[in-house]
Amino acid sequence: MSTFKTDDVFSFSSFDPSKFTESFKEFAEKGSLKTKETLAKVKEATEEASKTVEATVQNAQAGSVEFGLKAIEMLRTNTENSFSHLEALLGVKSVSELFELQTAFLRKQAELAVEQAKALQETSKKVAENVSKPGKDAAEKAMSSMKLNG
């Protein structure tokens, strides 16, 4: 009959605590390094997003001012034209002259309205492009970053 040794069952000769400690320490350091890298990327992304929002708001404010100034310029032009027309009407000597002045004024105002609509459309387009530019640039940067990392 073979003898059974209880020492063999409870022997931990294959288990070396110093190696376990080393492995755990290495695992913890790698985890810590990955966490730091991830936090750094999150911080950078947050800062970039903040800059993008700030640039967008600044561009929107500048665009609002530009649009407002364009509208004021148009109102000023229309007001001056109306006053000039009223002055001309005060000097009218006949009904035919009145109709002639009125027709010329209405034609000029219609042409001016078309020009002003085009100018506002161009200004709106420019403002929209400027407002969306920071976000577009940030998206392009993020996409190129993903391609480099991928």
User: One-letter amino acid identity for 94?
Assistant: S
Task: Kindly tell me if the per-residue pLDDT of 121 is higher than 60.
Answer: yes
Tell me the per-residue pLDDT of 83-99, one tens digit each, with 9 for 90 and over: 999 999 999 999 999 99
Question: Token match 């967008």: residue?
Answer: 56
Tell me the per-residue pLDDT of 35-92, one tens digit each, with 9 for 90 and over: 888 888 878 878 887 888 888 888 888 888 888 999 999 999 999 999 999 999 999 9
Round to whole Å and give the CA distance between 27 and 84.
85
**29 C-beta neighbours (distance < 10 Å), count:** 10
pLDDT > 90: percent of the chain? 33
Q: Which residues, including other chains, have CB under 8 Å from residue 59's CB and lie 6 or more apart?
A: 127, 130, 131, 133, 134
- pTM value is 0.60
106-112 own/partner pairs: CB under 8 Å, 24+ apart:
108/81, 109/78, 109/81, 112/77, 112/78, 112/81
